[in-house]
Each structure stands twice: as C-alpha cells, then as structure tokens.
Structure 1
C-alpha cells in the first residue's frame, strides 16, 4: 500500500505546486484572485477488526480534493488611464463576449474605448451598464456637448461726447478721420459706423471726413444705452449723452471685445466699450472620467459636463461558486446563484475608483514559503515511492 500512498502524495504535491506556481506567476495580474488546495485523507483499510472487534482505519493516501479561490480585496493602484476602474468592496464588473454572447464577470477593470466607441476590456469583451446593456461612448473629439449652444457675442460701443475737428476714431480696424474742420456730435459719430457689416471699407471722402482700413468680423447696428460700465453705474448725464452701437461678432463663442480707440473728443475720453452678451460655442468632448458611482463623465471644451453612461456592478450571492473561464473572468453556476446588476454603492456593492486598478491579492511571501513545503512534500513522497520500489524488487528477487 505504501507505493499507492507515495504516488498519491506525489499527485497532491504536484497539484499544490501547480496552484502555487500559478499564483506566483499572476502576482502582477490585475484583479487576479489567488487559489489554495484542499487536501483529504483517503482511508483504505481496517486493522484488528477480526480479532478484537475494534475497527482501526489507516490512511491510504492523500487527495487534492478541491481548489478554492480567495476573493479578498486587492490593493488599489492609481494610474493616468481615464477609463480604468477598480472596485473597492463587493461586486464584479459585467462583460459580454461579442462572439459567443456569454455574460462573464471580472475584477479586472483595464477598460478602453474601441474604434466603434464601445467600452471594452483587453480581450474585446464589452462592458455592461446598470441595465445590462453594452456601454457605447461618444468618439472624441467630434462629439458635442448635449447642453451646449451656439450664440454670438454682442458688444456695446457708446460715444458720449463730440469729436473735434481733425479728431480720429478707429473702430474694429476701420479708421475715420474728421478732416473737414467741423465738430461732430456723438450722434453723428455713432451714425458713421452704424449699419456697417464685416469686411466693410470706406476709402472715399464723405461729408466731413474720410475712412481707411477694413471693419473686422462684426456687424454694427443701433444699440441700447448701457447703464453700467465695468461694473460701475453710469451717471444720468453720461447715459443721456451716450449714443450706442450694437456690435455682433461673426463667430460663435466668446470673443475679444471689439477694439475702439479715439483721439480728439472734446472731453478727452475714449468711447465706452463693453461686452454685454458673451457668446457661447459648441462644446467638444475633451476628456472622460469615472466617479465613485461608476458614472462616466464627459468634460467638454465649453466647460460643461454630462453623464455618458454608468458602469454596472454585479453582486454575486456566492463568489466561490463561480466557474473560472480564463481572461480574468468567471461565469455563474448553480452554486454561485444569480448575479444581480445595479449601480455601485447600492445594496452592499462596493464603490468604484476611476483611473485605478485592483492589484492581485496574491501574497508572494506566503506562497513562496508554501512552495518550499510543497517541494519537500513532493521529494518525500518520491522517496517513499523509491524505497517501496526497492522493497518490491527485493521480494521479486527472493521469489526468483
């Protein structure tokens, strides 16, 4: 019987060496869960039962009866990959195999966006949201914010005093010089520029002056007198004398305020120029991030944000009942119970950390010590087999 016991020891030690070797090899694998071997003594014979009536059982060897995985929490390591995710606490990410259609579960959150916009793992499995639907994300940089609009910026230019003879006004690149020698009122100055469109030029002398240059990307029209300027309330006298022009920019979004300067006004002051309506532009997707509830948040160039999707987390009734199927994934079985998908931080599910991954929970120190013990057990069992073989050879020689 010793030969059988020795061989069973070899098989058991070999199984333990295999499991420990796999643990050690995967000590750097994201989301990996370590395994251990359960051993059972095999009883094969009874002694003294005939003579004394007492039944004494003896061990007939050892059996590696089960390989158990530990689903203890691995350390969370931060990184700079925005769509990576790690679960702290209970639960697993849910994936679907696009080829076979199987639903699998994992703790490996090395997610990226594929060319079709789907959130996938390294094997191309699609990540599911809280409703069990594959997550499809907008493809940057062409996606626009769902809340952004396009409007033009409007500036107000107000002339508040008369322009002296030979005075000059430069308005958005277009210069008017009063060469006629006649003083122009604020109303007359404003009328010169009112109604001009982008790109307008006036080079010929008109009435009391001349133009040169090109008006910028603006359209001018009659405006409304502002009651404040740079946050200060204008006096009633200034407001009463003001002759405003509304300047509408030709490009969407916030623009630099229209440039207006002058010399020769009787008060010696420049015109009032202030942005009265800041334009907005379409916001384009700049980046994505994941919050603690698993929401994927898009940030746009116009400063807006939007929730694009929410990663689902499955609560498994019994993790140890799952069946490992490779690629850092598991499938449900009758022993695992039916996983239920919902949002992180609900009903006992853990929270999610974005731009982070869960490390392997392998304890290399413990496994290296166990590896030495398994090696010694293997060598000892091999020695038992060797000696038992020698005994059998001696017995065979005696019969010969």
Structure 2
C-alpha cells in the first residue's frame, strides 16, 4: 500500500541523513587534526521508488592549508602523495598525510602518535625504515696533509710557524711548531724546516726552496713527517704550495715573514648542527664544521583511487580494496613536493560542513514529517475499517 511505502521511504531517509550527520560531526571534530582529510557521504536509491541509503563515504583529497612549525622533522606534501608508515609488530603498512615525525632513541624516524616507522627508499627504490644512527656524527679522521701559506721575507734568516694542528685517528688534536732557518750555504732560496712537538723535540725536518721569482720549487715544496699518534704510525705531509706558482708559500722582499698552517683533512668527532628535508624528501645534514651530507629519502605512495582509502582513524589509512600502492619519490612523476618544517592541516571547510548540516537537518525534518503524515493516514484508514 502507498502509505506503507511512504513510511518505509521516510524511514530510510531518516537513517541516511543520520549517517551523513555522523560523517559531518567527525569532519568537524577533526578540524584541527594535522593531515586529516574530510569524508563525503554518497546516496543512492535502494530500488526504484523504494527509499534511499548512504552508499558509502569517500575521502576528500583536496590540499589542506600549510602551516610552518619550525620543527625540522615535520614535513608536508604539496600535491599528490601519502607518507608510508610501518608497524614493526605486524609488518602492516599504513598511509598518512600527517607528517608529524621525530627520531626515536634508536635513530629511527617515527610517527609521533603511533610510533610507526617512517619509510624511505633504498638505492633500488625499495621501502626501508629511515634510520640516521650512522649519520648523527662524523667519525674522527686522522690528518694526512697540512697546507702552509704566507710569505718568507727574502732578507730574513729565520722564521717560524707558531701552530701546526694535527689530528690523530681518535680525533685528538696535537699542536706542533716549526722553525725555519735560511740555508744559503746549500742553495739560494733554500730554507731548513724543523718541526717540533710541545716539549721542543724535533719530530721531523726537511728542505724547501724558492726560485728567483719567489715561487716554491718542484721537489722542494713539501716536508714529510712520520709520527706515532694514538698508538699507531701516522704519515703527515706539510705542503708549502704548488711548484712554480704563488699559491701557498712565497719568498718576496718587502713583505714580512708570516706563515699559517691549516689542516687539509682530519678532525675530531663532529656532531650534527642542523638537519632539513628538501623538496625531494631528501634529509640533509649540516655538521658543526659546516660540512654537509645527504641522508635518506622519504618514500611516498599513491593509489589509483585515493578517495576509496580505508580510514583507520583521523590520521591513518589502509590500502583501498584490490589496489596496490604506487611507490616513488617526491618531486618526481606522479608525486608532489615536500615542504620541510611544515605540517598540512585538516582540509575540512567549516563553512561547507555547517551548510551541509543545515541541508541534512532540513532533509531529516522533511522525512520525519512524511513519516508523521503516513502514520496519520494509516491511522485514519484503520479507523475507517472499524467503522469508527
């Protein structure tokens, strides 16, 4: 009977509008959740003229607003892509737009909420846990070359180098000095170089020579030292410049004697002073000596239909049914770029949600009114059959 059908149709409307209101309330509740993507409800006919139902909800993949945080491990995606997270207890992979990450005590980059490990790409493009344990500091390096620069006054008979710093294999710095004595009895422009340790004991010596133009001569431009530091032998070369040039040490008249020795290599243990992600998702390290190195690269994922992702909570998704992820790097192919020290905020439009809520409220009221009228008609029919 038509009145019964109207009753069922209005009841289906009440259920559908109620479920849509659940979706809107969840969107509004996550208005300030980083990386949250709102949901949209879809309606369909149950059968021809037999009411309505919510066929499901889809993910709104519109870009959320970017907000700078100043935290180097916060990252956001501009464009297509999802960060990939791994639950180490189950091996399950999850996906998110919320780039709130931090390094744990073991050096792994993890999600700050669940503690899942953020995935990067290895040399073959395969997913791997991002770990920086071997990049938190640069190991000590022994000095093998020291470059000497400056000038020796041609009229002087003696000169000195006040400090020659040499690092051993454990990163400890040892300071030496050098005495230079003109050796004209051997050859014009010849100087004898004697390197001394802190107690004034000679640890090595050699000869350097300059030509008539004041440039260092080939074969006489270095002094080699054989030292024993940190319990092991260490060969160090003092280079006074490139032969035939004025790059390095010179012997000119009119310029006072002044020599500086600078280690060309070798250092103690060096810590990280700063790190940052570039637009390709590569982690860049700057160390306290201003040396720069590149580290792991973030992995991104996308699917053939990102709107059908299976939401686990406000931040995490699982793969859509029967879809495998496309894995790659930011700023390449399908994927957007990475913005470091930034979070993508929720893409929920509060004005839109409030407008939709009013529409749902009116629809709910209308369905409720239809149900009331249908009930009254059935009551009248019932009374008529009783002769009332």
What is the TM-score when the length of structure 2 is the normalising length?
0.69
The one of 115, 120, 124 equivalent to 2:115 is 124
1:198 CA displacement = 0.9
Alpha carbons of 1:162 and 1:117: their partners in 2 closer, same or farther (altered >3 Å)?
closer
Post-superposition offset of 1:27 = 2.0
Q: Give how far 1:307 is off.
A: 1.7
| Residue pairs, 1:159-308, within 5 angstroms | 194=194, 196-200=196-200, 224=208, 236=214, 271-275=257-261, 277-278=263-264, 280-282=266-268, 283-308=270-295
Q: Residues of 1 paired with 2:115 and 2:210: CA distance?
A: 59
Structure 1 SS opposite 2:133: coil
1:41 is displaced (CA, Å) by 3.1
Shift in alpha-carbon separation, 1:9–1:245, aligned structure 2, 3 A: closer
Q: Write the distance in 2 (CA, Å) between the matches of 1:100 and 1:397.
A: 64
CA shift, 1:225, in A, is 5.5
Is 1:310 matched up with 2:300?
no
Corresponding residue for 1:11? 15
In structure 2, stretches of 5+ residues that fail to align are 164-180, 185-190, 230-252
Report how many aligned residue pairs link the two structures: 327
* Cα distance in 2 for residues equivalent to 1:239 and 1:107: 62
SS in 2 for 1:224: strand
Q: In the TM superposition, what is the alpha-carbon distance from 1:370 to its structure 2 partner?
A: 0.7
Deviations 1:279-331 (A, max 9, x none): 64243222211111111111112222222101111131221332222251222
1:327-371: per-residue Cα shift (whole Å, max 9, x none)? 512222434x21121222333222222222222221211111111
Give the equivalent residue in structure 1 for 2:71.
81
Over the aligned positions, Cα root-mean-square deviation in angstroms equals 4.2
Map of 1:181 onto structure 2? none
Structure 1 residue matching 2:261: 3-state secondary structure: strand
Query: Cα deviation per residue 1:199-247 (whole Å; 9 max; x = unaligned)?
Result: 559xxxxxxxxxxxxxxxx9785563578xxxxxx965x999xxx998x
Give the alignment partner of residue 331 of structure 1, picking from 294, 302, 318.
318
- Structure 1 match to 2:171: none
1:29 and 2:33 matched = yes
Distance 1:145 1:366, change over 3 A: farther
Report the counterpart of residue 335 of structure 2 in structure 1: 349
- Contact preservation (8 Å) 2:285, 2:293: yes
**1 CA distance for matches of 2:156 and 2:129?**
68
Q: 1:380 to 1:272 in 2, by over 3 A?
A: same
Distance 2:326 2:276 in 1: 25
Structure label with greater radius of gyration: 1
Q: Using the alignment, how far apart are the partners of 2:347 and 2:155 within structure 1?
A: 79
1:106 maps to 96
Deviation at 1:136, TM superposition (A): 0.8
Q: For residues 161 and 37 of structure 1, do their structure 2 counterparts lie closer, same or farther at Cα, with a shift above 3 Å needed?
A: same
* Distance change in 2, residues 1:150/1:341 (3 Å): farther
Residue of 49, 59, 70 corresponding to 1:69: 59
CA distance in 2, matches of 1:193, 1:394: 121
Residue matched to 1:20: 24
Q: Secondary structure at the match of 1:87?
A: strand
Aligned partners of 2:89, 2:291: CA distance in 1, in Å?
37
**Following the alignment from structure 2 to structure 1, what is the Cα–Cα distance between the partners of residues 160 and 131?**
53
Check conservation: 1:145, 1:306, Cα contact below 8 A: no
